[in-house]
Amino acid sequence: MYKVFVNNTPIILSTKKGIEDYKTIHIKDVEFPEIIRDILHKEDKGREAKYHFYHKSEEKLLEHLYAKLPVVVAGGGKVYNSKKEVLFIHRNGKWDLPKGKAEKKEDMETTAIREVEEETGVTGLEITKFLYKTYHIFKRNGEFRLKVTYWFEMKTEYDGVLTPQKNEGIMKVKWKDAKKAKKALKDSYANIKQLFSHEYLS
């Protein structure tokens, strides 16, 4: 099962033929602009749109998803320092984790480390493990696109100055302990919350 987010509304993708209370559409028949408009309209009204896209083959499910919208591939990091604090950025009025678009022929690990360094000023990064792949839909130049972000857990001994990349709209960079991270996640994005365990979200 996969979740593709439009703002904070998840669209469920699975190989099940139906999910209770969800409108099920075969992935081949999906008309994204129409569905996205419905989701945004319901969000504005304080209601939840429940969509489920189906294909019997998991491989075909993703293949069709990628064919429906232009795909932007990105890499990002959930970075811990020596105090076990997590590195957050503040952009567009929300707390987020550093991430960005892959450059041509760049592998995902390189993208993730480069983007964290550029957006925060933190260096000495070491990837400890791959975490998760998130999917969300955004609009750029009047066109809906699918962003697929590869997230890595990282560690660093860096204790220098944090430098927000302001030309990318980042206003603040902060290390946050568990208590502060829990508070920040209340003002974050649903796809970012997926990267944290339940104790951060309760």
Tokens coding 30: 């999906």
Cα–Cα separations (whole angstroms), residue 35 to 10, 170, 183: 12, 30, 32
Residue 189 · residue 200 · CB < 8 Å: no
Question: At residue 98, what are phi and psi to the nearest 5 degrees?
Answer: -65, 135
> Dmax over Cα atoms in the chain, in whole Å?
52
In the block, residue with structure tokens 């293949």: 63
Fold of 76-201: Nucleoside Triphosphate Pyrophosphohydrolase (3.90.79)
Secondary structure element (H or E) that encloses residue 157, with its range? none
pLDDT averaged over 10-residue windows placed end to end, the chain, 202 residues: 93 94 95 93 93 95 94 97 97 96 95 98 98 93 94 97 96 96 94 85 64
Residue 202: predicted pLDDT: 60
Residue 185: predicted pLDDT: 95
Residue 173: predicted pLDDT: 98
Question: How many CB atoms neighbour CB 94 within 10 A?
Answer: 13
Residue 198: predicted pLDDT: 74
Secondary structure element (H or E) that encloses residue 191, with its range? helix 190-193
Q: Where exactly are the structural domains of the chain?
A: 2-68, 76-201
